[in-house]
Structure 1
């Protein structure tokens, strides 16, 4: 199976460097839509702003749907302090210490952009001494220092900055010569690049898939309701492609595709899980089976919303999830292959 790795890498890099915290995803949805259209895949945009791309299969009465989410962690301006610094409200779940020192881009409601840095309110050792180490990292101590000449709330407001403006973290994306991808927001832009790579392989090789397949790119997953609506009505199997959690006590790996039988929302479909495992075994894919205790997916959201589907979860291994993430291209390749083999399978 000849996967176009240059395509996958280029798509992934472009996705990673495009800001898209939950609630600010229109630009990146448009980018993904254009990429599907280049492949000759029909698309629609849902009322919630998600994207559905569809490839017809031999059976158009039962659909398979693969999902990935394009929204990421981020923040909003919660308060403009009297000294011109900004307090933040989190978008998605992450530890405050994981963003300390990060460069950010602030985007106003009229699309002005300003640079800044996430800092501790007592960041200087020469001023505060040992208090810098003992301070809690939370919504009260973490703030944004703008790269503008501002010394008051009024100075900030004159720039057009207001409560509710989006704050996007610098991803610092690097793809190394050894094929490691180091970046924030591999969760789940790696998954979106996998969807596009699967679609490209099917189109490039003129493959007729068994069932009509929808590629559902959701935009509210990080806040829990990404694919809770607008799933194509004929869907009978739904597989979320999202990052696999790598770390102590986990069997997931940065080099493997992981099949998840259970996460914090409960078990996924038993027969579908076994099908995915058997496909991986029969085709000598480098795979793992793993359970995630602190994790939910688009498949979870669909089930909670009452969709009558058989749901599964697979994905590439990502280290340091919701922090400074890393994966290897091998895990993307194995996930792409499993996706293609699944769509070819009865």
Structure 2
């Protein structure tokens, strides 16, 4: 997989490259000879873990309590237990949740969009589209290893939101279906990209219904807490009403039942691992799982089993490396404790 680091652009084994990109220590290059399958598989796994957005207020039966806490005497609260609440617009909260699910460990780079750019670049590199007067069935496209880029009479562009192809096709050809030869591996990858996008949309809908995204309507007559069911059905409120959203991950732990705290602590531990992993890699050093487990127990109070569960889904550089770490590369536990 081709990635970009502070040392420039380089080809790195897929597993290692995927870990570096997920940790934020490297950026995925849009120029890929082979489809970056490992990275897509990692994102697919992360979409199953909605605790990255925040614990479920519905599952832990604290929705009614939170409703009364977040809106008191008809006024939305901005401070709770001396904890600043991060209220967001719909556009902001959707982007924040998306970065939690498919962003790097720093929450800055949208990795699904980075994969999109790789797909667009790959399709743009294909010359001489094949123009047909009929739409080929999926089975035939699988057999011929082709990809549909422009569809039918309206010239709808299907090349991952790119305008590149339309500029090269004459007006008389716009009534045709246009295909390019992509090869079996890339065709499978492009199909999986479509499934991941659908999975992301379903994850966002679940986050609402499970009370991981909370909602308050502000109006002249007073503010009110909006149930997950209503919020999911009516994203746009009535005229004269302003709707704000809150991820449950931004709430203090005291607002959850005791058994919910483990979920929040695991989320904090994963975030810490992702952060220190990128820092350690940038220093050219390495840390063992055992070292990190000891510090996590001291810092977060996690048991060995709980840490192992977090480690499994963490984005940590060289996590899959085997063998003893050379002494000149090993970072001490004291040094790790100073990282944040």
- TM-score band (shorter)? under 0.3
Give TM-score, length-normalised by structure 2: 0.25
The structure that is helix-richer by fraction is 2
Give TM-score, length-normalised by structure 1: 0.25
The structure that is strand-richer by fraction is 1
